[in-house]
Structure 1
Amino acid sequence: MEIDDKISKLQKLKDKNRVRFKWQDAVLNIIEDLHLPRYVQTNKDKDPLDVRAILMSHARRNLPVLERRFALVKEQGKAGDEAFLYYLGIIEKENVKQ
């Protein structure tokens, strides 16, 4: 009975941590692939940015655009903090053009 309880507990944890949407899975793959940090400090006067929360929000709104932007980041060979800052630069340039 003890093993059954442990298996049941593991199954509940697995269900709890399950990725429910394609965009969540895509963001987690990008974070892992580019070794993105959890937080990035862009300005000493401001709080650090929560990388995962920002990417999840952007992916939920428009996953193909997020994937296209990160394809550009990957093409430039960026990783870690540098990759996320480059991504923010792409967004800034796109917003200036509009």
Structure 2
Amino acid sequence: MNSLAEPGWEALARDPEFRALVASRRRFVAIGTAIYTGYLIAFLALLGYAKDFMANEIGGISLALWGGLSICALTVLMAWLYARRAGEWERMAQRVAERA
């Protein structure tokens, strides 16, 4: 395919593999956003409403700090999962682009 040629966007949008690619990415982002948002809201709620509980210490570190660190770990985990899936999405996009 010539890099200057404009693909047929209507035909591309009807391609089953393109639709599967879009659906897979949308599902991943929606689930990831829901999990991260839910986790963050739960953490913030615990900080606001369970202060005594979050002040407890494990290994000399408060649960509030462990919770904050776990949010950082969750961010790294989600980035790793996204990077893993991105390879699959790239292969799907290449197959679609070759047919376009």
**Taking structure 2 as the reference length, what is the TM-score of the superposition?**
0.27
**Taking structure 1 as the reference length, what is the TM-score of the superposition?**
0.27
Larger Rg: 2
The structure richer in helix per residue is 2
Q: Which has the higher contact order (CA 8 A, sep 6+)?
A: 2
